[in-house]
């Protein structure tokens, strides 16, 4: 016999642990903060251990509380997902992907027709993702650039975030070696100021300072490069299609790891859901296809210039 202990108290505890306060949990559960506190107290009494340390203005999970919450949250997520599946119309199959604008525009959308041809009954929906956006409760999966450390989520690598300069062919004709970058305008991305220094150091050109127009996002910088404004630091997979089409070229056979990778993120229980499983199979296969133009990949150490 399965013995479930005081489900209201468990639900109240999980919400308080996840949100960090009885008040926030009360708003989520549509009860008062005092009611949440009482239910958590009753749960602690029945378990015979403390789940929270009550501080003056905040809650701090005990070791037991952390262990309990880390197991409960995925269970509630799975329950919510299962409920949504059961109550959805049988004809409606929806896959919600949290993804940054640039990744969607430069890699995912151009290939989405391939997935649609394989799974025409799955409706794909994009929602705002990106490195600074937390994983949404309604997401089927997410795609993020990082180091692979997202607690509570499965992170499967898709691409290495390798860096190499790109520009239009007209500008590339004047670049015979990396040292020729001392003159041209080097386009920068505001949220990734380390990209040019990483590559220039690997090319033994650490004394060169990247000076040129600065844009907020990679997509803007790469569009500026395609319009001939200067040389942008390209990152895979954003540059793959432009290189294949000849809109941009990589003038140097030097690709340097950024120190991050692109990952497919999802909750463990998602692997049991057929729509996500189909998307996962497809994107892992698509990501394994070779880049448009192989470039010499080295570490962040010396390279001939």
Pairing of strands 214-215, 141-146: unpaired
CATH of 93-158+261-288, one of 3.40.228.10, 3.40.50.150, 3.40.50.300, 3.40.190.10: 3.40.190.10
The dotted CATH code for 7-87 is: 1.10.10.10
CATH architecture entry for 160-259? 3-Layer(aba) Sandwich (3.40)
| DSSP H or E stretch at residue 21 | none
Query: What pLDDT does 180 receive?
Result: 86
Per-residue pLDDT of the chain (305 residues; tens, 9 = 90+): 556 678 899 999 998 888 888 888 899 899 999 999 999 999 999 889 999 988 767 788 898 988 888 888 777 776 776 676 666 665 557 888 888 888 988 899 999 999 999 988 888 888 877 766 778 777 889 999 998 888 889 999 998 889 999 999 999 888 888 888 887 789 998 888 899 999 999 988 877 777 878 888 888 899 999 999 899 999 988 999 999 889 999 999 888 998 889 999 998 888 878 889 999 999 999 998 876 544 444 443 334 44
> How far is the C-alpha of 64 from the C-alpha of 74, rounded, in Å?
17
CB 74 within 8 A of CB 267: yes
Q: What is the DSSP string of 138-152?
A: T-SEEEEEESS--TT
CATH 1.10.10.10: which residues of the chain? 7-87
Contacts with 174 (C-beta within 8 Å, 6 or more apart), sequence order = 180, 184
Whether 293 contacts 250, CB under 8 Å: yes
pLDDT at 298: 40
Residue 1: the pLDDT is: 53
Query: Which 8-state DSSP code applies to residue 253?
Result: S
Q: What's the predicted TM-score (pTM) here?
A: 0.65
Nearest to 304 by CA among 147, 122, 173, 177: 177
In sequence order, which residues have a C-beta less than 8 Å from that of residue 275 and are 6 or more positions away?
Answer: 93, 94, 95, 119, 122, 140
Nearest 5°: the CA angle 16, 20, 21 is 65
Q: Please list the residue range(s) of the chain that carry CATH number 3.40.190.10.
A: 93-158+261-288, 160-259
């Amino acid at each position: 016999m399965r013995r479930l202990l005081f489900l209201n108290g468990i639900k109240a505890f999980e919400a308080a642990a996840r949100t960090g306060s009885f008040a926030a949990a009360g708003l989520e559960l549509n009860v008062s903060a005092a009611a949440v506190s009482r239910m958590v107290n009753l749960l602690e009494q029945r378990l015979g251990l403390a789940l929270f340390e009550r501080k003056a203005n905040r809650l701090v999970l005990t070791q037991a509380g952390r262990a309990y919450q880390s197991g409960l949250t995925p269970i509630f997520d799975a329950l919510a997902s299962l409920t949504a599946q059961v109550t959805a119309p049988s004809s409606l199959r929806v896959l919600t992907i949290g993804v940054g604008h640039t990744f969607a525009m430069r890699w995912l959308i151009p290939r989405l027709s391939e997935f649609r041809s394989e799974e025409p009954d799955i409706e794909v929906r994009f929602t705002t993702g990106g490195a600074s956006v937390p994983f949404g409760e309604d997401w089927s999966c997410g795609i993020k650039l990082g180091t692979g450390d997202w607690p509570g989520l499965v992170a499967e690598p898709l691409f290495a975030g390798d860096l190499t300069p790109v520009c239009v062919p007209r500008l590339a004709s004047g670049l015979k070696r990396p040292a020729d970058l001392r003159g041209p305008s080097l386009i920068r991305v505001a949220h990734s100021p380390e990209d040019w220094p990483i590559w220039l150091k690997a090319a033994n050109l650490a004394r060169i300072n990247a000076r040129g127009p600065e844009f907020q996002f990679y997509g803007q910088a790469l569009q500026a490069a395609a319009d001939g404004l200067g040389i942008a630091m390209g990152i895979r997979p954003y540059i793959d299609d432009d290189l294949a089409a000849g809109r941009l070229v990589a003038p140097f056979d030097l690709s340097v790891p950024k120190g991050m990778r692109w990952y497919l993120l999802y909750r463990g229980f998602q692997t049991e859901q057929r729509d996500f499983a189909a998307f996962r199979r497809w994107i892992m296969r698509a990501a394994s296809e070779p880049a448009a133009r192989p470039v010499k990949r080295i570490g962040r150490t010396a390279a001939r210039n």
